[in-house]
Each structure stands twice: as structure tokens, then as C-alpha cells.
């Protein structure tokens, strides 16, 4: 039966097939509705041919049935479908992951080092869990890594590992003969290429190649099985010298030719956790080049008056009001320090960390006037911005400059959303009034700290 011909059928008197999500040689994945629980699910309907395929279907059902982790596409149910008498096909019912796979995401444009670290950390945690449960995935690749869109505008790119069709469990029948290999050619470990014993280290190697591809946006060992295998034997992966030392060291270890030289799953998770923290703290899009060259030292002293202890309660109320005013989920006060951007966000610390550098229009100086972009995808200045086309997916931006003593721009009051907005002139005036309240709060804080000697006194010409 064709994949389209089974649409509108109900499997197991419960799962109504609605559309095709993807097709492969062994199975077709459908979007379906669980009529009992009223939710969308993904149904993987296997082809019926082949004893070997039946064995792999049993393997996937057995492996997925034994696992449950936030970094995996979890199994809900399994059953048999009999479209015609005497012909049966197995199916799996799994959680429906809304979003795109990593392979598709890489084709859309560059991924920031922070998001690469977060994706890698999620998959490393999933691998640590499956390895601890005696399972080896054996096919870690970009198309098997799903980036979850929870539909709530969350900027964090959560990742899940999918497709355990060729995984090996402790009790699984080994379906490949000694000296043969299974997996996707471009991501096979050296021991998989050689047909040798596969261990958890093989998954670590494959993830290393996936991370490297996220940075370079090209497959490290392209081509067919033979071409890819020869390249892997003849040379180590080329790790860009431009990457920070921590990334270079970790990728070099993950892709070591000898399995014993690769990090253990727990060590890998710990290393990636440290890299996520480092990338979160790394200065992004901010340098002294953003400041007037003749006033850098002066502005450093003045901006220190605003840092470290924001008037939290007052700014919380302003950002909350700005969010309600424009009906958008994110409102942020950002103030430019000499080496970083300080943020006070209405929706919490995670947004504060991720939305570093909120000016969507240019990497240059801070905006000197109010900017409203009702639809970032329809604006030539923002249509290619990573925060628009990337995992954050900002579609609406309104920013009002914040001034020191009514003169120099020191930051922005911004309102953002993941869907377009229409803004009236009254809305803009109200937002500018809120920005004036923020300026008053910051100036009051500066004067208070100056009076108590908590910061350097700036020259009179700019104080």
C-alpha cells in the first residue's frame, strides 16, 4: 500500500493517520491523532517485507520500550496493523516532536556556538543515559537529532535523539555479521568502518563529527561508504583553528581514532556543561569598538554606576508593563557596559542570558532613535539576522534608546515576540514614556552610588 493510501485510517481503533511526516526504506512516519487522549502523536508504520527488517523492528521496539529520557523521542505504544487479511505490519506510536531536525536547521544558516553547545549537551546527556542502560545508538547524525519547538517562544534550542532502528541493546540480537558494519557512512567511527566491536565510544565519535559539522556547515567525510571510509582512515577530521581551545580540545578527543582515547559519556557531559557556561558568559557582539573612540575611558567610569545592582523592583514593573502594553512575551532593559551587555528581563534569567545584543538592525553602535520592526522577515535589514532565522526566531522588535542625563545613549528598552505585531503611534509614545522612567531609575541609582562613594566620579564634562 502507498503511504497516501493509508491516510484517514485508524490504527488499533485509536490512532487516526493524518499526514506523512517522512518516508524511508524501512518505514513511513505519519502525523496522527490519539483519539483516546486527544493529542498528536507520530506513528512509525514499518514495511512488511524481509526477515531482517522484522528483526530490526523487534530491536527498535525492545530498545525504545526500555528507555524514558527527556533527551529521547519516547515510545508511547506499539501494535500490529492488518490492512488486508494475512498481511500484518508493525507500528510504533511515539511522541510528536514539533520542530525541525538538525540537518534541516544547518541548511538555514549558521548556528551560534552557544546553541551548538546546548544541542550537543542535550544529546550527550541522552547518550549517557542510553549507554548506562546498555544501549548503543550506532547512527548518531544530524537528521536523527530533532530540535524541539514547544510553541511558547522559548529561545532555548532543546534537542532530542531519535531513530533507534539499528541500536544494540544488551539483550538484542546482533543483526550484523562480524566484519560488517551498520550506520550512516559519513558518521561511522573508525571501528565501525573496520567492522570491529562497537561500543559507546562509537556514538561519542559520531557526535563529535556532528558538532564539527555544526561549526563548518559541511560534512567532514562525504561520499559513499568506500570513499568516506578511505578518507576517515587516511586523515583525522580537520578542526578549524579559529575555534576556542576548549572546543578544539574536546572535538579532538571525541574524534580520536582509538576508542579508548575518547571521553567517557559522563566526562563528555561534564565537558559540554562547562562549554555551555563558557559560551553563555562569552562576550557577544560587544566590544570597545561600539563606543566612541575618544570617550571609552570616560564612559567606562560612568557605566559602572549602572552595573551590578539594578533597581530590580522598579525595572521589573517597567518591563512587565512594556510586555503587556504591546502584547508581547519578552521585554528587556539592556545597558551597554565596556565589555558586555547587562540585561533586566521581564521573563527571567534564561532570556537574559540568550538575548545578548538586542539590536537586530546592525552590529554597529547602539540605536539613537526608536526602532519598530513589525515583521522581521519582511524587513531587508533583519531578514537574515541569526536571531530571526535561528532557533530564537524573533519576528517582532521594538526598541527605544536609553539615555544618560538625556544625552548619550547607554542602552535600550526592547520588546520582542516570535510572531509579527502591528504597533500604533500611541503604543510607541507609551513605550517611550516607559523608557523615560527607566532612564530616571538608572540616573537615580547612579547619583545614589556616587553620593556613597560606590563608583568613580566621572569628569564634569560628561557626568
Strands 87-95 and 75-84: antiparallel
- Residue 369, SS3 per DSSP: coil
Map residue 141 onto helix, strand or coil: coil
Q: What are the contacts of 310-319 at 24+ separation with CB within 8 A?
A: 310/342, 310/344, 310/445, 311/441, 311/442, 311/444, 311/445, 312/344, 314/437, 314/441, 315/344, 315/438, 315/441, 316/344, 316/346, 318/413, 318/434, 318/437, 318/438, 318/441, 319/344, 319/345, 319/346, 319/413
Cβ-contact 209, 187 below 8 angstroms: yes
- Helices marked H in 74-139: 102-108, 113-132
Alpha carbon of residue 125 to chain centroid: 14
Per-residue DSSP letter, 243: S
Residue 87's DSSP bridge partners are: 84
- Residue 139 is a catalytic residue: yes
CB 341 within 8 A of CB 165: no
**Crossing angle for the helix pair 265-281 and 113-132, to the nearest 10 degrees:** 160
Cα separation values, 227 from 185, 339, 434, Å: 9, 47, 62
Measured between alpha carbons, how far is 17 from 41 in angstroms, rounded to an integer? Answer: 9
Is 403 in a helix, a strand, or coil? strand
Catalytic position from the list 122, 139, 299, 359: 139
Q: How far apart are CA 185 and CA 168, in angstroms?
A: 18
Q: What is the DSSP string of 264-279?
A: PHHHHHHHHHHHHHHH
111: number of Cβ within 10 Å? 22
The residues that are catalytic are 139
Amino acid at each position: 500500500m502507498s503511504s497516501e493510501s493509508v491516510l484517514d485510517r485508524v490504527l488499533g481503533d485509536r490512532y487516526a493517520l493524518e499526514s506523512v511526516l517522512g518516508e524511508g526504506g524501512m518505514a513511513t512516519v505519519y502525523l496522527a491523532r490519539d483519539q483516546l487522549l486527544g493529542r498528536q502523536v507520530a506513528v512509525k508504520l514499518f514495511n512488511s517485507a524481509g526477515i531482517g527488517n522484522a528483526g530490526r523492528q523487534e530491536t527498535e521496539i525492545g530498545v525504545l520500550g526500555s528507555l524514558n529520557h527527556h533527551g529521547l523521542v519516547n515510545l508511547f505504544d506499539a501494535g500490529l496493523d492488518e490492512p488486508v487479511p494475512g498481511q500484518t505490519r508493525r507500528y510504533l506510536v511515539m511522541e510528536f516532536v514539533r520542530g525541525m531536525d538538525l540537518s534541516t536547521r544547518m541548511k538555514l544558516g549558521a548556528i551560534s556556538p552557544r546553541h551548538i553547545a546546548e544541542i550537543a549537551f542535550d544529546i550527550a546527556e541522552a547518550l549517557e543515559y542510553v549507554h548506562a542502560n546498555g544501549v548503543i545508538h550506532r547512527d548518531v547524525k544530524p537528521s536523527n537529532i530533532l530540535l524541539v519547538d514547544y510553541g511558547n517562544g522559548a529561545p532555548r534550542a532543546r534537542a532530542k535523539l531519535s531513530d533507534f532502528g539499528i541500536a544494540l541493546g544488551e539483550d538484542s540480537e546482533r543483526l550484523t555479521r562480524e566484519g560488517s558494519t551498520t550506520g550512516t557512512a559519513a558518521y561511522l567511527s573508525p571501528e565501525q568502518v573496520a567492522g570491529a566491536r562497537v561500543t559507546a565510544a562509537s556514538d561519542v565519535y559520531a557526535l563529535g563529527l556532528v558538532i564539527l559539522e555544526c561549526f563548518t556547515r559541511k560534512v567532514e567525510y562525504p561520499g559513499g561508504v568506500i570513499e568516506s571510509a578511505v578518507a576517515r582512515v587516511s586523515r583525522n577530521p580537520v578542526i578549524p583553528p579559529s575555534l576556542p581551545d576548549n572546543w578544539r580540545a574536546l572535538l579532538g578527543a571525541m574524534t580520536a581514532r582509538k576508542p579508548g582515547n575518547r571521553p567517557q559519556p559522563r566526562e563528555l557531559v561534564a565537558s559540554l556543561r562547562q562549554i555551555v557556561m563558557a559560551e553563555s558568559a562569552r562576550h557577544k557582539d560587544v566590544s570597545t569598538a561600539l563606543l566612541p573612540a575618544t570617550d571609552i575611558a570616560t564612559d567606562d567610569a560612568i557605566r559602572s554606576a549602572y552595573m551590578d545592582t539594578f533597581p530590580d523592583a522598579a525595572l521589573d514593573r517597567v518591563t512587565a508593563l512594556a510586555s503587556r502594553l504591546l502584547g508581547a512575551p519578552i521585554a528587556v532593559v539592556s545597558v551597554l557596559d565596556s565589555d558586555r551587555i547587562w540585561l533586566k528581563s521581564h521573563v527571567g534569567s534564561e532570556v537574559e542570558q540568550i538575548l545578548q545584543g538586542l539590536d537586530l538592525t546592525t552590529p554597529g553602535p547602539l540605536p539613537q532613535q526608536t526602532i519598530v520592526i513589525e515583521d522581521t522577515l519582511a524587513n531587508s535589514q533583519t531578514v537574515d539576522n541569526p536571531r530571526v532565522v535561528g532557533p530564537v526566531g524573533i519576528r517582532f522588535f521594538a526598541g527605544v534608546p536609553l539615555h544618560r542625563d538625556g544625552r548619550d545613549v547607554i542602552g535600550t528598552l526592547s520588546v520582542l515576540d516570535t510572531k509579527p505585531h502591528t504597533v500604533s503611534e500611541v503604543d510607541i509614545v507609551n513605550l517611550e514614556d516607559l523608557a523615560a522612567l527607566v532612564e530616571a531609575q538608572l540616573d537615580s541609582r547612579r547619583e545614589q552610588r556616587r553620593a556613597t562613594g560606590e563608583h568613580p566620579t566621572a569628569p564634569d564634562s560628561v557626568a
